[in-house]
Structure 1
C-alpha cells in the first residue's frame, strides 16, 4: 500500500516513518516536507512543498491508500492565526484533496487529549484541534481521529527538554492507576499505521483506545 505522511521531522513523525519503512506491506511512503531531510530509502519519496494549501504541482503523486497526519506545532511557538492555519487549514485542505483522489483513503489525524469539538476550554490547542476534528469527521467514515495524552519516548534515556522530562516522571506514577495519562511513541505509531492499513470500527480513539488497539480493535 501507499501512505502519505506529514510531520516527519517531529518526535512522532520520525517513529511513524521508521515503522512504515520497516513494514513489508507498505510499498511507498510519500512524505510532505518544507525542506529535504537528506534521508534516502527505496520506499520513501519526499515532496518538498512551500505551500500546504496548494497541491497543484504534486497532485500526480498523491493518490494513495492512506494518510497519517502528524504535522503540528506548539501553540506557544507561533501566533494564533498561524496556529489555526497550520492545525486547521492545512489538515482539512489535505483531507479534502486526498479524498477527492481516492474516496476510500483512510485519513488518520493526530489530535490531542485536550481537544474539544465544542471548542470549550481555555486552551487554544484544545479548541482548534477540536474544530479540526469536527470538520474532518464530516468528510466521511474513513477519517480517524486520535487523541493521545502525553507521548513518551520508547527509549527511557532519550533526552528531551525539561518540561517533557518532568512530565514523563509524573506520568510514570499516574500510569500505575490509569491508562489515560500517557502513551509510548512506538505504541502510538503502531496504532496509527494499523488503522491506516485496516481501518477500525471506532472513528475517534482516545488514549486508552490507542494503548489497547491491538487487543480491542485489530
Structure 2
C-alpha cells in the first residue's frame, strides 16, 4: 500500500562497507532523498551537499550524539560483521546487541521511522547455524519495536555498483557468475542498485513489517517511490 510523499531524511550505518556504501551512493543520487546522515567509526570518503557525517567510536553509547539523531524518517542499517572467525559471544554482541541498541535509540528519538535491516539469505531463527539464529532473532526483535515500518532484507550474492570504493576485491573475479546465477536462481542474485533502490522504495509504503528475500527485493526495487 502506498503513501503520500514527504521529506525523506535518512540515516545510514555501515557506509565504509560495500552494502552501506552502495546504499549511500544511490541515496545521494536520488532526488526523493532530501538529506543523509551517516554514522561511522572512520570517514566514508564521500562529500555531498546533502550528506552529513558523524564520526563516533562507541555504537553502544550514543548519549553524546543523540541530539544530532532527530528529524529522520528512515534508517538503512547496513552495519555488521562476518561470522567467519568470530567467536559466538563477539558475533552476538556485534550483530544482535549493537543493532538493537541503535534501533532502540532511534525509535525513541524519531516518530514514524522506517527501519531497514540487512541480514542475509539463509537467516532463520530456528536454524542449526548460529549466525542464522542470531540474525533471525535480530529480525524478530526489530519487528517488535514501535517503528512505523520494519523491513528485513535477505540478499544473497550482491553485484556491486561501478566505482564503489569499498566493494570486496574478490567480486571483480566472480562478477561473471552473476548473469548465470540470476538465470538459474534469481532469488539468490541481486544487484547493489536493486538492493539500495528497494530500501529507498520502502519509504513509499505503509505499515510494513516484512521479510524480503531476493525476488522480493528485486520486485520492490522496480516500484516507483
Partner of 2:37: 30
Do the aligned residues in 2 keep the contact of 1:114 with 1:125 (CA within 8 Å)? Answer: no
Q: 2:149 aligns with which of 128, 142, 150?
A: 142
| Partner SS, residue 87 of structure 1 | helix
Give the TM-score taking structure 1 as reference length.
Answer: 0.87
Q: 2:124 aligns with which of 116, 134, 150?
A: 116
Q: 1:52 aligns with which of 59, 65, 76?
A: 59
Q: Which runs of 5+ in 2 are unaligned?
A: 1-7
Q: CA deviation at 1:202?
A: 5.5
Do the aligned residues in 1 keep the contact of 2:194 with 2:221 (CA within 8 Å)? Answer: no
Q: Which runs of 5+ in 1 are unaligned?
A: none
| Count, aligned residues | 213
Q: 1:92 aligns with which of 100, 112, 123?
A: 100
Q: CA deviation at 1:172?
A: 3.2
Aligned CA distance change for structure 1 residues 45 and 215 (closer, same or farther; 3 Å) = closer
> Which whole-Å CA distance do the structure 1 matches of 2:80 and 2:180 have between them?
28
Aligned CA distance change for structure 1 residues 22 and 112 (closer, same or farther; 3 Å) = same
> Which whole-Å CA distance do the structure 1 matches of 2:149 and 2:85 have between them?
31
| Partner SS, residue 197 of structure 2 | helix
Give the TM-score taking structure 2 as reference length.
Answer: 0.84
> Which whole-Å CA distance do the structure 2 matches of 1:68 and 1:24 have between them?
17
Q: CA deviation at 1:75?
A: 1.2
Q: 1:130 aligns with which of 132, 136, 139?
A: 136
> Which whole-Å CA distance do the structure 2 matches of 1:199 and 1:43 have between them?
23
> Which whole-Å CA distance do the structure 1 matches of 2:32 and 2:195 have between them?
19
Partner of 1:198: 204
Q: 1:106 aligns with which of 103, 114, 121?
A: 114
After superposition, what is the alpha-carbon deviation per residue over 1:117-160, rounded to whole angstroms, capped at 9, x for unaligned?
A: 22x122x321211111011011145111111111112449x984
Q: CA RMSD in A?
A: 2.4
| Partner SS, residue 186 of structure 2 | coil
- Work out which structure has the larger RCO, using CA pairs closer than 8 Å and 6 or more positions apart in sequence: 2
> Which whole-Å CA distance do the structure 2 matches of 1:170 and 1:38 have between them?
29
> Which whole-Å CA distance do the structure 2 matches of 1:92 and 1:32 have between them?
16
Matched, 1:80 2:82: no
Do the aligned residues in 2 keep the contact of 1:106 with 1:199 (CA within 8 Å)? Answer: no
After superposition, what is the alpha-carbon deviation per residue over 1:29-81, rounded to whole angstroms, capped at 9, x for unaligned?
A: 11010122353222111111111111111111111110000001111253322
> Which whole-Å CA distance do the structure 2 matches of 1:37 and 1:130 have between them?
28
> Which whole-Å CA distance do the structure 2 matches of 1:139 and 1:40 have between them?
33
| Partner SS, residue 76 of structure 1 | coil
Partner of 2:4: none
Do the aligned residues in 1 keep the contact of 2:119 with 2:135 (CA within 8 Å)? Answer: yes
